[in-house]
Structure 1
Amino acid sequence: MPEIKVLALVGSLRAASINRQIAELATEAAPDGVVVTIFDGLNELPFYNEDIDNDADVPAVVTALRALAAEADAALVVTPEYNGSIPAVIKNAIDWLSRPFGDGALKGKPLAVIGGSFGQYGGVWAHDETRKSFGIAGPRVVESITLSVPFKTLNGQHPREHAEVAANVRDAVGKLAAEVN
């Protein structure tokens, strides 16, 4: 059976962010036969501009993102909530991945949104907004896969050291992989 490839996008650019740690945990805890790859270039993507989205001018980082998305069988977005909404880097990635409109690299592929935030609800608003935007952009958003971690529940631990969070991340990746046709 071929490996299931999952592209992970992290909505926080900070190297030691808890959302990055959750994404790293997803790479470590993926079930056998599932490989999770984190795309590390979101900070390099220019803001979406149709003027440069053509055969001659597309930046190399955009080409790399689209190629990884095209090769992936599914996508996992791990994001915090910034001011009650989506971090700009995630929204920008959605815009780049949605083009060409109606036929983006993630079209029809299963996508799940998880992560955490400082608020008591662990980023639920951002996760909902991210699901909505990606749903319009073309992937098949798997609404039943959710994980919103209020940072205070970690008590300063790395997510892999928190048994319940680690199990939930492993479960989310497994459920996402099961959605691949």
Structure 2
Amino acid sequence: MKALIISDSHGWGNRLKKIIDRHRNEVDALFHCGDSELTADHAAIKGVKVVKGNCDFGEDFPHDVTEQVKGVTFYITHGHLYNVKMTHVPLSYRAEEKQAQITCFGHSHVATAFQENGVIYINPGSIRLPREHKDGTYCICEYGDSDIKITFYNYNGDIVPELTRKFTKE
């Protein structure tokens, strides 16, 4: 199972569409973790599960999504309602409630992936306004039989090796 995960594109509809179209046919799911600043009918996010971020106004998107993809449970949220810039503990409680195997969030614009209590947490960073890394980033999660690989990419589609992670299933 493969999923493209992106967040915090902040109005960059054309660039977002370019990234999504680049990978659309190689993944099983497309997730945007909020702050797209687009409307639900925008062409860039056609076929993408999008959640509402703190910079998304109106009622176009839900605050969170729980999605089964080929037997893998994803929990997607922006993170601002869980204070992710300070701690991941409230988010971890919600992930446990949702029985998520993979929890995806944004908000901090800091690309990261880590494993805790059997759950993989992924923040793909921001394609427009990255923090702690010079290039804007997004990622692809590959959930295999024995491991989970999170490959981070810059806007041009080049792998960012220092961010890429591989986890063994607990």
- TM-score, normalised to structure 1, is 0.36
Structure number with bigger Rg:
1
- TM-score, normalised to structure 2, is 0.38
Structure with more of its chain in helix, by fraction: 1
Structure with more of its chain in strand, by fraction: 2
Higher relative contact order (CA 8 A, sep 6+): 1
